[in-house]
Amino acid sequence: MAYLPMTARSRDEAHRAATPLELFFDLCFVVAVAQAGRQLVHALAEDHIGAGITGYLFVFFGVWWAWMNFTWFASAYDIDDVPYRLATLVQIAGVLVYSAGIPRAFNDTDWTVAVVGYLVMRVALTFQWLRAAGGEEGGARRCALTYAVGLVVCQAGWVALLWAPEGSERWLFVVLVVAELLVPVVAERHHQTPWHPHHIAERYGLFTIIVLGETVAASTVAVQSALDEHEALDVLLPIAAGGLVLVFAAWWIYFAVPAHDRLSSNREAIPWGYGHFVIFASAAAIGAGIEVAVEHAVGKAHVSTVTANLSVTLPASLFLGFVWLLHSRHFKHGPAQQAVLPVAAVLLLACAWTGTYAVLWAGCVAAAAVAAGVTLVHRERSEGVRREEEVPS
């Protein structure tokens, strides 16, 4: 495959779909998502709630932001030549190094290995943006150069974080997160990169499937381990059944509406894209929560029943709430349709106080939300067809 000049792809390109290289890139992120979830399980099970949630959000930001950086660049500039492929493979190597550093970052606030992994990713991505700048002119060139400079400056900040005074790391981390989030806003202030709405929506959907799949895998391993050690099928079955239904419902709800229809410009796309941090993090945390619920059921988790239940119902509630906030509400008609997901999110939280069958009840609530949504949409369509038939020809 020859070297090609890097020029922007058409925003109106027909049949724009995820490439095998993008799918491979996403698959390697499973390792990072699994590492973050595993550390969260250990922290919650040992009743280190605050430290566990904070550590999880910090390390998951690194996972999500690395994926975001690549995804939006690829949507605009993926030319699939040899340098592009090699740079992407280098980024994948960086992801794996970052994943290896997650336990130290989570438990000991030692970000050395994670920052090295990020540095590897950033060198490759900066090269990509400089290539893009070389093939563009005017506003597009300035935009690409701003991205490249922003990446270098922020990465310098992450490296400097390794020498920050003890006790200041978490506050400096938040400052760097804000700086990272501002780079796309500043870079695309006067020129929008030609990302493809259908392609972006598909990429986000695929990553949602990945984190939900990791939730299923983690839950399965937890139940299997508990059965091998305790053979407590009667206790574990409601958790396994409720958790599975919960994941099924999460998938159904996320893909119920065509998200790409609202992604017409950065004004809609940036809040939508950034808001997915909560969707991805909560979807992955559901699996961690199910593991905690399993450990609590067999007496291995040192937390109360309500806390164990909240480890499942809180992320599930956040998932439903943010799916509604980011795109479902824009496709709902009437107060009944609009109320389904917010009400279900509140009921999911309430399930935490229903005792040992909380996860099963949470699955029932999520399934009821799907059934209510499908019923209301079907009724609306039936009434629309009826009204059309009543109109005289």
CA-CA distance, 225 to 42, in Å (whole number)?
15
- Taking only the tens place, the pLDDT of each residue in 302-338 is 899 999 999 999 999 999 999 999 988 888 888 888 9
CA dihedral (103, 106, 111, 115) positive or negative? positive
Q: Is pLDDT above 60 for 2?
A: no
Under 8 Å between Cβ of 238 and 61: no
- Tell me the residue type at 155: Q
Q: Supply the pLDDT for residue 284.
A: 93
Give tens-digit pLDDT for 181-238: 999 999 999 889 999 999 999 999 999 999 998 888 887 877 777 777 666 667 778 8
Residue 153 burial (C-beta neighbours within 10 Å; 0-12, 13-18, 19+): exposed
Contact 209, 216 (CB under 8 A): no
Kindly state the DSSP code that residue 110 receives in the 8-state scheme: -
Distance of CA 257 to CAs 15, 185, 253, 262, 269, Å?
19, 27, 8, 10, 16
At a CB cut-off of 8 Å and minimum separation 6, what does 216 contact?
Answer: 244, 247, 287
- Percent residues over pLDDT 70 in the chain: 94
Residues 6+ apart with CB under 8 A from 229: 298
End-to-end CA distance of the chain: 60
Q: Which class is 197-390 in CATH?
A: mainly alpha
pLDDT at 264: 79
Q: Which residues contact 55 (CB under 8 A, 6 or more apart)?
A: 39, 40, 43, 105, 106, 107
Q: 47 by DSSP, 3-state: which?
A: coil
Q: Where are the domains of the chain?
A: 20-187, 197-390
